[in-house]
Amino acid sequence: MFSASDLKKGLKIEIDGAPWVITEFEFCKPGKGTALYRCRMKNMITGIGMEKTYRPTDKIDEPNIEERELDYSYFDGHNYVFSDATTFEEVVVAPDKLGDRAYFLLENSTCNFVIFNGEPIEITLPTFIEKEIVETEPGARGNTATNVMKPAKLDNGFEIQVPLFINQGDIVKIDTRTGAYAERVSKA
Amino acid sequence: MSHLPTIDNLALRSRFLHAVRDYFYRHGFLEVETPVVIPAPAPEEYIESIGAETGFLRTSPELAMKELVCAGAEKIFQIGSAFRAEERGRKHREEFTILEYYAVGWDYRELADFTAKMFASAAITATGRAPLTYQGNTIDLSYVEYVTVDEAFQKYAGVSAFAADADGSFDERMVTKVEPNLGRHGLTFLMDYPAARASLSRLSKRDPRVAERWEIYASGIELGNAFGELTDANEQKQRFDAALQFRAEQGMKPYPEATDFLEALRKGMPECSGCALGVDRLVMLLADAYSIDEVRI
């Protein structure tokens, strides 16, 4: 249990069985009145925001949240399997939890997990990964503009947008948060 | 001391305090200093004191200054630290600076008029400019509006202040709905609090549902509180007793009875009005500071 005076920006709390993170916090005390703790918060699963004001005597549930690092191991045909590098404990993640980011999973790459009541609710991949381009229109020689883009396929079939000078066989760096091309690592 | 204010802000604060003192002296006020360690704080429902070995750190200089008024002082002011436990935020520090003043024979509305003029004058002297810009909003301190608490609640919270007071939602509505709308362009005096929130003010003769109490706002920030002072010793003792009983029921820290003050009141206090302003918040406005930490060491 938290008491109202524990509330602050960044604190994770539980309301009606759901985990919320406080995004804005203000201590208020109207003249001669009671202290009030104004919070703006975000649901850690749905992303929905809300405002809530607490009084000094309020008690707030503490969520069972754990943060840990897990390495991506393999796809078992239905789910993505991650494992703990020290205990070898496996955590299974359904594809809908990852969306398109599943295309950016590299074997043994370490991801950050936020786990609520045993369920992963937030998975953060390494910010940048390197991938080979296996299919794209031939590069326009000498065109180094980075604002004109063309489609390119990765070895797993996923398509990203790359600048015109990128060729098949080039290794590129990709931002896993946005799926955007970041830079060329090496030429074919 | 992890966050020191800039020397520029401290210089602004110094110029402001200089101008404030100058204004009070020019208007015939006597500057006084009363003890910081006191035997008993005013028993208020929601103000927590910090203990000192031989008493309490004052939550405000109110009781001691009123004893001076009872003893014959007619116009007095004081600038000094006050202490309130567990108050910490962008507008709160456990130790903060109060500017408190009393004027015998002044109605609480006259005190409001004086307060607006004093602040506007000292602000221009300290900053050299008007209007002010606070967090992107233009605040013209010569623009003064008066609104009753009930009018403000009807307008901004959609309920009467009396209904909100009765159903326990007064403070929440005040903070979330009403306050953000006060002092948007200049100074707003929020007048005539419901009688249950009279604190140390007297009830209005025109309308006994309300008390002669106002709070002053600029840019949604409460800057101070004032009373047409309650001079009836019996009524004051009843209110103190009720507050002490409330504190006991809520399991809050007990306070000894403020016997010196009640004794002085029994001997007689002249009709007067008094105000306490939060100096740090006034300087925040002048310095366009988001947090009190930017203007107070």
Tens of pLDDT along B87-132?
999 999 999 999 999 999 999 999 999 999 999 999 999 999 889 9
Give me the pLDDT at residue A111, please: 96
Token pair in block for residue B203: 């009830």
Look at residue B216 and tell me whether its pLDDT is greater than 80. yes
How far apart CA A14 and CA A45 sit, in angstroms, is: 12
Contact call for A29 and B172, based on CB within 8 A: no
Report all structural domains of chain A as residue ranges with CATH numbers, in order of start: 2-60 (2.30.30.30), 65-124 (2.40.50.140), 128-186 (2.40.50.140)
B92 reaches A (C-beta below 8 A): yes
Mean of all residue pLDDT scores within chain B: 96
How far apart CA B117 and CA B257 sit, in angstroms, is: 37
Q: What is the mean pLDDT of residues B259-277?
A: 97
Q: For residue A65, give how far its alpha carbon lies from the nearest alpha carbon of chain B (Å).
A: 27
Nearest residue of B to residue A34, measured between CA atoms:
B46
Residue A188: band (very low, low, confident or very high) from pLDDT cuts 50, 70, 90: confident
In the numeric block, the tokens 């916090």 are attached to A25
Neighbours of B262 (CB within 10 A): 16
Domain count, chain B: 1
A28 reaches B (C-beta below 8 A): yes
Best B171, B201, B230 member to test A by mutation, with max A CBs in 10 Å, is B171
Residue B28: band (very low, low, confident or very high) from pLDDT cuts 50, 70, 90: very high
Give me the pLDDT at residue A179, please: 92
How far apart CA A20 and CA A47 sit, in angstroms, is: 9
Nearest residue of B to residue A32, measured between CA atoms:
B46
Look at residue A128 and tell me whether its pLDDT is greater than 70. yes
Answer whether residue B215 is part of any domain: yes
Answer whether residue B70 is part of any domain: yes
What whole-number percentage of chain B has pLDDT above 70?
99
Q: What is the mean pLDDT of residues A3-31?
A: 95
Phi, psi (rounded to 5 degrees) for B51: -75, 145
What DSSP string runs through B86-105?
T--BTTB-SEEEEEEEEEET
Answer whether residue B2 is part of any domain: no
Angle separating helix axes B279-287 and B7-26, nearest 10 degrees: 120
Q: For residue B212, give how far its alpha carbon lies from the nearest alpha carbon of chain A (Å).
A: 14
Give me the pLDDT at residue B32, please: 98
**β-bridge pairing A159-163 and B30-31:** unpaired
Q: Per-residue pLDDT tens for A138-167?
A: 876 666 676 789 999 998 999 999 999 999
Give me the pLDDT at residue A172, please: 95
**β-bridge pairing A36-43 and A49-54:** antiparallel
Answer whether residue B1 is part of any domain: no
Answer whether residue B129 is part of any domain: yes
Give me the pLDDT at residue B3, please: 75
Strand partners, A93: A80
How far apart CA B180 and CA A106 sit, in angstroms, is: 50
Strand partners, A49: A42
B249 reaches A (C-beta below 8 A): no
Identify whether B180 is preceded by a cis peptide bond (ω within 30 of 0): no
SS (H, E, C) chain A: CEEHHHCCCCCEEEECCEEEEEEEEEEECCCCCCCEEEEEEEECCCCCEEEEEECCCCEEECCCEEEEEEEEEEECCCCEEEECCCCCCEEEECHHHHHHHHHHCCCCCEEEEEEECCEEEEEECCCEEEEEEEEECCCCCCCCCCCCEEEEEECCCCEEEEECCCCCCCEEEEECCCCEEEEEEECC
Closest CA to A122 of A48, A19, A24, A40: A19
Answer whether residue B66 is part of any domain: yes
A32 reaches B (C-beta below 8 A): yes
How far apart CA A135 and CA A157 sit, in angstroms, is: 9
**β-bridge pairing A49-54 and A80-83:** unpaired
Which CATH number covers residue B281? Answer: 3.30.930.10
Give me the pLDDT at residue A142, please: 66
Contact call for A53 and B176, based on CB within 8 A: yes
Q: For residue B187, give how far its alpha carbon lies from the nearest alpha carbon of chain A (Å).
A: 16
Answer whether residue B276 is part of any domain: yes
Look at residue B5 and tell me whether its pLDDT is greater than 80. yes
Q: Which domain holds residue B242?
A: 7-294
A29 contacts in B (CB within 8 Å)?
46, 87, 92
Strand partners, A2: A60
Look at residue B285 and tell me whether its pLDDT is greater than 60. yes
In a 10 Å sphere around its CB, with 0-12 CB exposed, 13-18 middle and 19+ buried, how is residue B210 labelled? buried
Give me the pLDDT at residue A141, please: 66
Answer whether residue B95 is part of any domain: yes
Give me the pLDDT at residue A138, please: 84
Residue B233: band (very low, low, confident or very high) from pLDDT cuts 50, 70, 90: very high
Mean of all residue pLDDT scores within chain A: 93
Name the CA radius of gyration of chain B, rounded: 18
Q: Per-residue pLDDT tens for A27-79?
A: 999 989 999 999 999 999 999 999 999 999 999 999 999 999 999 999 999 99
Token pair in block for residue B186: 């200049």
B170 reaches A (C-beta below 8 A): yes
